[in-house]
Amino acid sequence: MELTENDLADYLAAHPDFFERHAELLAGLQLQSPHGNRAVSLQERQMEMLRDKMRGLEHRLTAMMRNAADNEALSSRLLQWARALLLAHQGDPAQVPQALQAALQTTFELPLTALKLWPIRPEFAHHDFAGGVSDDIRTFAASLAAPFCGPNAGFEAANWLSDPQLAQSVALVALRQAQSGQCIGLLVLGSPDPQRFTADMATDFLAQIGQLASAAVQGLVAA
């Protein structure tokens, strides 16, 4: 019966004291180093494996620290933006959409933003945020379970931006009533950077922006 590598591995796993009883074999083992064409002892090979593992852990820790710093910066910007929304609420309600967009542009360095709301209360129907919304856009916005991110593929809503051709990537964020969940608007964010909004990016932060924006404009839409 031929002994396979799996048989040998199973035997050594079942008899961890094998090398204690045969120490001369352990001392004489020579393995190939992954860092060059040379033979190393088992102990050296184990040390190299541990060093490689430590380097991997260090890289992961560095990435985690970088992500934590990025998240802290985003949270701080979100707080600044929420503060701007609260201050805007102290004035004319019709100015909230513009203040909301202006704060987004300065706080998050977004050169292109647009916002449309529906159904608008009659006293606000003459404002820019009240018109130019097709039934297709309303249906699309209502279908968004999460913010859409990706390249600007000629979306109709992207034409709301001041310079649609400049927007290489976009984020489309549906606004909803807090109680019913009914769609009441669409926030469009555009960037000349094609990597600013990508299909594989996390959208939790954009969803928070949508929730805050929805709360800020509730008084402009019909119940």
Each domain of the chain, given as residue ranges in start order, spans 77-220
Q: Map the chain to HEC letters.
A: CCCCHHHHHHHHHHCCCHHHHCHHHHHHCEEECCCCCCEEEHHHHHHHHHHHHHHHHHHHHHHHHHHHHHHHHHHHHHHHHHHHHHHHCCCCHHHHHHHHHHHHHHHCCCCEEEEEECCECHHHCCCHHHCCCCHHHHHHHHHCCCCEEEECCCCHHHHHCCCHHHCCEEEEEEEECCCCCCEEEEEEEEECCCCCCCCCCCCHHHHHHHHHHHHHCHHHECC
Give, for all 223 residues of the chain, the pLDDT tens digit.
677 888 777 877 887 777 677 766 666 666 666 666 666 566 676 677 777 788 887 878 777 777 766 666 777 787 888 888 877 777 789 999 999 999 999 999 999 999 999 999 999 999 999 988 999 999 999 999 999 999 999 899 999 999 999 999 999 999 999 889 999 999 999 999 999 999 999 999 999 999 999 999 999 998 6
pTM of the predicted structure, to 2 decimals: 0.69
CATH level 2 (architecture), domain 77-220: 2-Layer Sandwich (3.30)
